[in-house]
Amino acid sequence: YIQEKRYEFEDTSTFDLESVCGPPLFIEYSTTNNIYCTNTYQPEDGYEQIHAEEYGLGQHLSNYESGNIDAKELGSLMIRTFFLHDLSSNVQWDVNAPLERELAMSLGEIGYSFFIEATERKTQTLGGDATAGREEEFIDEEEESFSKSELGASATGNIVFVYDLAEIHVENYSFVHERRS
């Protein structure tokens, strides 16, 4: 006579961690990659760590680490973020998408060189009864000549991903702000 043993398993799909441990007290943000930047005017001082949260890069860095965006897209987002941080906030800007090219790097590294620029957004007041005082954006089709008060800004820099050290280096970043005549 053989007796059959039956094991009743709990349904694991209904397991609730909160009922066992309670609700989480806090959620800590952490990433495995660190961002380092060189001082443009004193590169001999070496790298200084940049905290991603200070520049609003935390979500982008998490997306990169989870594989949702690639290195080139993260580099582009980083240069754009640094550039927007450096722009004057009392002027409305038309910011172009960053241009990039891949750099020749050693094994275990990938790098991109970026260039980004912006011009002052122009507005003009329309005349007439119905549109008096209304401002509307206009774009010069040919941009034959710049107005005397047009502002321009540009930035360039290299973003290097060092996979062995889980580091991202921002090298030779420079920002220029000028009045074009």
Residue 77: the pLDDT is: 95
Q: What percent helix, strand, coil does the chain show, rounded to 5?
A: 20, 35, 45
pLDDT given at position 115? 96
User: Among 156, 125, 127, 121, which Cα is nearest to 140's?
Assistant: 121
pLDDT at site 38 = 83
Of 70, 69, 73, 94, whose CA–CA distance to 83 is shortest? 94
Q: How many other C-beta atoms are found inside a 10 Å radius of the C-beta of residue 34?
A: 17
Q: Could you tell me the mean pLDDT of each successive run of 10 residues in the chain, 181 residues long?
A: 51 54 55 82 78 89 91 95 89 91 91 94 57 47 50 93 92 85 60
pTM strictly above 0.85: no
End-to-end, the C-alpha distance of the chain in Å comes to 102
Q: So what's the pLDDT on residue 141? A: 42
| Per-residue confidence (pLDDT) for residue 148, from 0 to 100 | 52
